[in-house]
Chain A
Amino acid sequence: MKVRKTTAGSGITAKLLVLAGIMAMLCGATVFASGSGEQGTVAAAATVSFANWADAEQATRPGIQATISKFEAANPNITVKSEAISFSDIGHTLVLRVKSGNPPDVAEIAGNDTFDVAATGGLEPLESYVTPDLKSSINPADLEVAKYQGQLIAFPWTDSPNALWYNKDIMKKAGLDPNKPPATVDELMTDLAAIHSSQPDVIPLGLDTTNRTFGLAVNWPWMVTFGAKPFSGTTATADTAGMKAYLSWMRELAQKGYILTGKKIGEFRPLAAQGKVAFIWDQNVLQGVIQSVNHMTDSQFYATWGVAPQPKGPAGTSNVVALGHQLIMFKNSSVKQAGWELIKYLATSPDAIVDYTFKYESSLPPLAHATGEVAKLLSTPVNKAFVDQILPTMIIPPYGSTYAQAYSPIMAGVQQAITGNTPIDQIAASIQSNLSSALGG
């Protein structure tokens, strides 16, 4: 009996030891595969979940899927699981997923959404991943806009600021010089009047006036060029002469029929492709949308469309805001090294830049210097205008959690100005009051 007990005990002990050994090997393999967040190579198979809107949009879906396939071919030990989330939903979806402990590994993000997600504390700081060589190859302004509380929490993917696109054919029909886009707000108003009177069916100016964080970012440069800055920190500064001048100008645009109110910029793009929009305040993605809709060749497009910096307002400045797409990685990720490889590939590899950033996003890569095919593509008339004239005017709106609370009172006031008859002084005071309440409440 005693012997049997001993034998049985030894058997169990041996089995436990074998089991523990297997578990240890499995744990070791898992840890090795996931990496520790530091730089290194991905030694074992890893699956990276990648939340993005590129896969949710018809125009970019084929491009991002092909790019991901190329990345997987170049990195056979990494599989990318793309999660399509619409642009409008990705910000709050990621916030909720971080808070519920279920974020993806990597995500595409833009504008204030970057800072909303960063405020959750769920983003992996990227400084330790960026080598000095890589850092020097990226446009410093793009890196600057990706910082939150002094830390690099996102990596720039594309540059796509707003600019003033103009349809040369429509300008010609209105008796305007198609090679001389308006340089000031006064010139813009003169041109809009000429277009509206000569071609009543054409929308003179496509401008996003929606009440969303993107809507404020789009309108921010116009506010600034009128001398307005509706809030600073947590202080509302909307009841000012500059803001009233901006609101009055917006009302004039609406009342004279120069803009269609309440439209998202995406709603103007198909109309622009049909030659029904004269000027449009839009990102460089516009070129891709127009060409995908009307199948213009590049040379036809450049003969029809031009792009220029923002016309200067009373403040005498021409501005654009940073609206580029960025890539973020989450602290919870267990495959950080593989995630970083994906980020680096999408943002900086010539293949991804040529075949996706230029071809499908019609955007610019965040590179400080370009060579080869990338340099050639940067020399097109539109890209050259963006690089030489428009990107140098980039300003950064006061992104952050305050911005998330401020956008709605401001844009609601803008909508009141362009759709009603309430005196501008009263609207500015109302924005000031609602903004103070939102920022201090």
Chain B
Amino acid sequence: MVDLRKTGHRRYFVKPGHGWSIWMMIPTVAVLVIVIGYPVVRTFLLSRLKYNFISSAPARVVGAENYLHLANDPIFWQALLNTAVYTLGSVAIAMIIGAALSLLTEGFIGRLRVVKALMLTPWAVPFIVVAFLFRYMFEERSGIVNELLLRAGLIHEHIPWLNSAMRAMPSVMLANIWTQTPFFFLIFAAAVAGIPQEVVESARMDRAKGWTMIWHIKAPFMRGAALVGGLLMVISNFNDFAKIWAMTEGGPGYATTTLVVYVYRMAFTSYDFGYSATIGVVWLVFLVVFASVYIRAMQGAPR
């Protein structure tokens, strides 16, 4: 048996007298290898194959051919752009609204705390329910959005919100922002509540108020929450399938086709597993790079 105390690893992972603890990690590592490591490696291997899932023809190795195809695939680039717009747009707007709401409701105490609780309800609604709710609200003929706008005289004919190349993406993003804002509200409210009272009091004594108080005193305390919440939501939105599929199925045309929708179509309606795995690998690389940069930024942020 290897004596871990005699290896270099001891200096990094194991405190003196706790050599046995490294063995305790083995089950966790094994699970991670099975549920994360194997699929990642398998996806990468698949991406090097010409492999149609339903074809009786055997899969054959084509090396980088799928990657070259992807580089010249205009739908992939449009899907990547749509993913960036959907993800960054939704996260940025939800974050701003969530921050604003947390500051506005900062003084809500006693019975007014019910308002804060109500603001969290969209977060509790399942995503698929949100998607169908907004789909029905944006219905061209019978949706409440057109009905209200028509009655208010703001529009003069029914607008095809989800069936317009121009309006489909903003409409889907609106549903997404509605459901995500409470998350940011929650984490910002916690950050604001954690600001030491003496810091606020001393700022007041220095006659700081309004925008100055928010920007120079409170915002620095909210930055850490913004970074953590932002990273989580970027990853979540990058992988968001249910809302987009239920509302538009990636259409009209490719107007709301994101990478996850494109992968789904390639894998489960065209059965092109090799190419869909290629998209998956590139998608993973994008996420890993983004997360690394983001975590570095987070580590450099003031606490």
Contact = CB atoms under 8 A, between A and B. Distances in A.
B290 interface: no
Given A416-B253, A419-B165, A408 B265 contact: yes
Interface string A46-61: 0000000000000000
B54 A95 contact: yes
A225 interface: no
A213 interface: yes
A331 interface: no
Interface string B74-115: 110000000000000000000000000000000000000000
A261 B257 CA distance: 17
B240 interface: no
19 contacts: A92-B269, A95-B53, A117-B54, A119-B54, A211-B249, A260-B160, A260-B163, A261-B163, A262-B160, A401-B52, A405-B272, A409-B75, A412-B254, A413-B253, A419-B165, A420-B164, A433-B74, A434-B75, A441-B73
Among B54, B160, B165, which residue has the most Cβ atoms of chain A within 10 A?
Answer: B54
B142 to A, nearest CB: 9
Interface in B243-294: 248-255, 257, 265, 268-272, 275
A28 B199 CA distance: 85
A420 B163 CA distance: 9
Contact of A437 (B69, B140, B269): B69
Contacts of A408: 265, 269-270
Contacts of B270: 404-405, 408, 438
Nearest to A116: B54
A119 B56 contact: yes
Given A420-B165, A433-B74, 6 more contacts: A116-B271, A212-B269, A262-B163, A405-B272, A412-B251, A419-B165
A408 B270 CA distance: 9
Contacts of B248: 262
Contacts of A213: 269
Interface string A370-403: 0000000000000000000000000000000100
B275 to A, nearest CB: 6
A261 B140 CA distance: 9
Nearest to B141: A260
Contact of B271 (A95, A418, A420, A441): A95
A412 B251 CA distance: 7
Nearest to A438: B270
Contacts of B52: 401
Contacts of B255: 419
B65 to A, nearest CB: 9
A419 B253 contact: yes
Contacts of B56: 119-121
Interface string A83-101: 0000000001001000100
B164 A419 contact: yes
Contact of B253 (A117, A412, A437): A412
Given A120-B54, A416-B165, A437-B73, A262 B269 contact: no
A432 interface: no
B162 interface: yes
A56 B257 CA distance: 29
A407 B160 CA distance: 24
Interface residues of A, number: 35
B7 interface: no
A415 interface: yes
Nearest to B267: A92
B163 A419 contact: yes
Interface string B142-155: 00000000000000
Interface string B169-186: 000000000000000000
A326 interface: no
Contacts, number: 92
B121 interface: no
A415 B54 contact: no
B197 interface: no
Contacts of B166: 420
A213 B73 CA distance: 21
A419 B54 CA distance: 33
Among A121, A211, A261, A409, which residue has the most Cβ atoms of chain B within 10 A?
Answer: A211
Contacts of A430: 74
Contacts of A167: none
B76 to A, nearest CB: 10
B299 interface: no
Given A401-B271, A404-B269, A405-B270, A211 B163 contact: no
A438 B270 CA distance: 9
Contacts of B202: none
A210 interface: yes
The 8 closest A-B pairs by CB, nearest first: A416-B253, A415-B252, A420-B165, A262-B163, A419-B252, A119-B54, A261-B163, A415-B253
B55 interface: yes
B252 A262 contact: yes
Nearest to A421: B165
B3 to A, nearest CB: 45
A262 B55 contact: no
A261 B160 contact: yes
Contacts of A120: 54, 56
B25 to A, nearest CB: 32
Contacts of A262: 160, 162-163, 248, 251-252
Contacts of A119: 54-56
Among A213, A261, A262, which residue has the most Cβ atoms of chain B within 10 A?
Answer: A262
A276 to B, nearest CB: 9
Interface in A23-60: none
A441 B68 CA distance: 10
A261 to B, nearest CB: 4
A95 B273 CA distance: 13
Given A99-B53, A120-B54, A262-B251, A441 B268 contact: no
A219 to B, nearest CB: 14
A319 B118 CA distance: 56
B163 to A, nearest CB: 4
B73 A210 contact: no
Interface in B20-74: 52-56, 69, 72-74
A380 B271 CA distance: 42
A408 B261 CA distance: 12
B211 to A, nearest CB: 42
A416 B69 contact: no
Contacts of A203: 141
Contact of B54 (A401, A418, A434, A438): A401
Contacts of B271: 92, 95, 116, 401, 404
Contacts of A99: 53
